Amino acid sequence: MLSAVDEVFLDLSSQVHAVLLERFEELSRPPPYDDPTEMLPLPSTVALDWQADALIDLEDAEAETEDPDWDDVAVLVGSEIVRRIRATVQEKLGYTCSAGVANNKLLSKLGSGHKKPNGQTVIRSRAVPPFLSGLRFAKLRNLGGKLGEQVARDFGTESIEGLLPVSVEQLKLKLGDDTGVWVYNTIRGIDWSEVNSRTAIKSMLSAKSFRPNISSFDQAVRSVSSGPFLQPDHVTLSAAVRVPC
Cα 172 from Cα 193, distance rounded (Å): 20
Residue 134, judged by CB atoms within 10 A of its CB (0-12, 13-18, 19+), counts as: exposed
The answer to whether 240 and 104 are in contact (CB under 8 A) is yes
Cα 207 from Cα 213, distance rounded (Å): 14
- 194: closest CA among 63, 106, 101? 106
User: What is the helix (H) or strand (E) element at residue 210, kind and residue range?
Assistant: none
For 36, 47, 104, 228, the CA distances from 52, given in Å and listed in that order, are 37, 16, 22, 29
User: What is the helix (H) or strand (E) element at residue 97, kind and residue range?
Assistant: strand 96-102
Task: Indicate if 7 belongs to the active site.
Answer: yes
Write down the catalytic residue from 7, 22, 169, 194: 7
- 195: closest CA among 243, 240, 143? 240
Cα 105 from Cα 111, distance rounded (Å): 10
Phi, psi dihedrals of residue 222, rounded to the nearest 5°? -65, -40
Cα 112 from Cα 121, distance rounded (Å): 6
Just list the catalytic residues: 7
